[in-house]
Amino acid sequence: MAIFDLTTEGRNIVAETAMPFEIWFTVAAIYLMLTLTLSGFSAWLEYRLSQEKRA
């Protein structure tokens, strides 16, 4: 899922519903969840790979 996709869909929904705060807050929450998930996975993968090098 690209940043452009979420942003474009957010704009489309804001244009249809005229509820910008709620829509952009939801889009930001989705971005935050994606970022935290990928960051956590990256940290875990880095830890696992460093453990394999030590063994």
Per-residue model confidence as pLDDT tens digits over 1-54 = 677 799 999 999 999 999 999 999 999 999 999 999 999 999 999 999 998 777
Between CA 45 and CA 6 the distance in angstroms is: 27
Q: What is the residue whose two structure tokens read 């090098």?
A: 53
Helix (H) or strand (E) run with residue 17 in it = helix 3-17
Six token digits for residue 5:
């996709």
What does R_g of the chain's alpha carbons equal in angstroms?
A: 17
Amino acid 4: pLDDT: 79
